[in-house]
A and B are shown apart, each in its own frame.
Chain A
């Protein structure tokens, strides 16, 4: 570290004769990738900014020149006299038993704990304002933190940096377990970095990949630290950490093969120019033979972390050789020896179509045998409220029509029995056969829906039964001391074994009537019928009479006089 000239303030505001060296700040970034035993990957980003300045020293000129340290956080620290600030946003729960210990732990939801400087008189007031300001900075609803969920732990949260850890009156701790983390929180967090998300390790932070994970945690830790052993000068350290566990392998979306591109959909092209150090560490302690790492690197480093000595391969991004010819660094981990036995018969099923009127059931059956074809018996039992149209049944193998040799179809009777479709299909070797049939969704009576009608209705699994040709000869002898797991299905012949494969059940939505409307519907429909009935009734029973309009008064009087006189009346 360079020696710093003390900043001297003269009351008349003139500067010292010597030149001022600007406050020195420095930025480091690193990424640690640790493959987990279950086949998943734990990636931990850390960005550290060190700044030699003191916000809180008396008589100091107010800091106004920010370079690497974000201005928003600097202003927060000085306004609220914060000694230490730790805030984290986490989605998911860290599974310690499967994943080990994280580098930086965090609870699900949001967590904020702050040590205030002992010059603060109204800690609660500062705390309230601080939470609101942080809420704005991080686009989170930290304004829900108030006295009802804040505590002052007396022993658990000692300051992690410098500071007199005596009076826990200046400590405040709050969590919001219900807080959700999403892109709106990631974006302002990324903006606090010196290079933003434009260069360096932060380019890997694409929210659509980061949030598609088992665990995601982003945190900001600010504390004052010593710069050297004697603690002659202090500096402010800002650490931004992001921990994420990708579970693509266990959730069935990928193979046991990782690359930066696969995890983050980006590769690294350059280090952050403002960084003094930019490194990628890959944990290779567990089993160097278990996977291969490319590009290879000669740099190794050992570190004791959480009571365990671990070996890491190091990639230094500040050196141009790391990026190779293509100017792009894509780390690749490939697990070796993935020779899982592929089953010979496999089936899947799904519903195609859109809307609530019609749909199509697709059943896909895979025959993975390299050269043998064998027949399978497919049984489908579809509930009556999905009306199947058997004339739309198509069976295609290798994009050619494959007619089943035996079809047994029993159509459904409404509210009595479901559809039953059984077919014997010959599967060609090493092929995929697709069976499709169209259906129409029925509107049921309102009492026939389940209490959660919009969840959908389940359709039971299809059953595929077959005698699969066996690679190994099986014995048909019946022996008493056979283990139980091999004696469930009786073996009739040596060259094939019986297998039954169940497909996924389907979840199908049916159109729903409005369940709040029975009285209304009955009244309205009866009204329309009654209008028709009433009109007919009126017309058919009403008789028409000629109605003489009453003559005006003058005429009546005249007629009256005429009657008296005995003279013919007026019309």
Chain B
């Protein structure tokens, strides 16, 4: 992961600030940086979203393709994740530099999103045992300025919200042969229910306290962080500890509670913003990548 060099004096400064619930950029410990969301930014995907969080920028595109369901769950579709750490984000990703991080991120995304509680996988089934929709979720890191997990999760939720899967129906002839038929109306499509899609809240243990949405400098002062995925109801669906340091049970508990609180508070405005944008329809002013 992209790192910055922080001197001892700076570290002390950051640490002391956090202790007093005042961070370098003026935020409190449970505050996010400024976040911007735009959906439907890549026209040749079925759903896409771009999220900037501080200087962190991620782009998520979702492609729906027809595939074969997994044998164990014949009546469900599934999601595939791929995280591309572009060398645009930071020079460290050049060559194969971003591969490890990419794998780590996508593994976490599988845990968080690819289950029937987060996404209604049954709705992705076209024909049990034969055809289902596979959603390829491609994450592209455009810029790294800390807290990738949260930004990615928000972008995925927004992209899933934006996803329009072409409606198909199965026609059967008398011999039982099945044929997938595609509606020729491009507006005739299926939307996903994203209500239960969780968001990830990363809590960084800095000194004795923990902060959300850590910047790179704050991250450098932290020894360990906890990744918590939280639904809109405040249910924790997944936790993971990252970083080399250890966390005592008490602070884990505290961090989980904080994560739930923050996560719950994150969902409501997110959904509101997404719905607002959706209502604009074609009148929406496109910002894109140059805005």
Bound pair (A, B):
no
Residues of A at under 8 Å CB distance from B?
Answer: none
